Chain A
Amino acid sequence: MKTVIINYKNIYYPPGGILIWIIIFLELITFSAALLAMAYYGNQELELFHNSSLKLNKTFGMLNTIFLLTSGFFMAISVAELKKSDKEKFKKYLILTLFFGILFLGLKSFEYYEKIIDGFGISYNIFFTFYWMLTLFHVIHVIVGLVILTSVYIGIRKENSNTSLEDVEASAGFWHMCDLIWLLLFPVIYLLF
């Protein structure tokens, strides 16, 4: 594995690289704009949003938050282990990162299944339109993140791996971005109304 010493204090080299941070800010702005639109409509129709919010399973939302945060925790530790050149521990923690990410997707799928069975589809009302659009868009990011991390895992297993620490940090940055987006979604969709 190639290791390069990076000075993070340089404005052009934030941890993970400048490109991933541009993506992170663009994603955060996009999701926050949609969430603010949701809050605006929620303020217009308080009762509808309150009653619809009661139909969501807050325990599932909380558990999913815990899964994602735990996944992010293992991701941070795995990157730290890689910086110490301990590839075995890096791989072990990366597997745990993937495991909790998959748990998130599993519980989310079950939640979606329940909503569909109960008839709360995307066109049920405006609250559920926002719910489906925002959470599905987030789920797509989680799936992309899992694919990226799996490719990092496969790459790092090779004897003469050309995966650099910066590649791993950028992948970790994308994965943590999923946490950040969820931390904006969870309170607005599940708790505020």
Chain B
Amino acid sequence: MKLNTTITWTLLIVLTIASALVSKMDSTYVVLIILLFSSVKFLGIAFQFMELKKAHVFWKGMIIGFLMIFVSTLLLILG
């Protein structure tokens, strides 16, 4: 538990710093990369820190579904 949580935390910190660095780049894929990193972080918190990995598949599906709807709508709006 502790090892998995520590690995997740390290990944979250690395992705946070990477997001800030990527945002300074001049590329058409910046938005996509930032949202991808944020999605991984979001799921890391939900599944590892909040222990959703132990929950019924309904709750796992709900959080993944929410994230997919939010990110795809955001991408649709931003074009």
Contact = CB atoms under 8 A, between A and B. Distances in A.
A41 B25 CA distance: 23
A36 B73 contact: yes
Interface of A: 8-11, 14-16, 21, 25, 28-29, 32, 35-36, 39-40, 42-43, 58-59, 61-62, 65-66, 69-70, 72-73, 75-77, 80, 172-173, 176, 179-180, 183-184, 186-188, 190-192
Q: Considering the complex of A and B, which 3 residue pairs feature the smallest CB-CB distances, nearest first?
A: A73-B9, A191-B23, A76-B49
Given A9-B56, A43-B77, A62-B20, A192 B31 contact: yes
Contact of B41 (A40, A183, A191): A183
B55 A14 contact: yes
Contact of B55 (A15, A61, A190): A15
A19 to B, nearest CB: 13
A25 B69 CA distance: 13
Interface size bracket, B side: 35 or more
A186 B42 CA distance: 12
A173 B20 contact: no
Contacts, number: 115
B2 A36 contact: no
Contacts of A35: 70, 74
A174 B77 CA distance: 30
Interface of B: 1-2, 5-6, 8-9, 12-13, 16-17, 19-20, 23, 31, 34-35, 37-38, 41-42, 45-46, 48-52, 54-56, 58-59, 62, 66, 70, 73-74, 77-79
14 contacts: A14-B55, A14-B59, A32-B66, A36-B73, A40-B77, A42-B78, A58-B20, A65-B16, A69-B16, A73-B8, A73-B9, A77-B2, A172-B50, A183-B42
B16 A62 contact: yes
B23 A10 contact: no
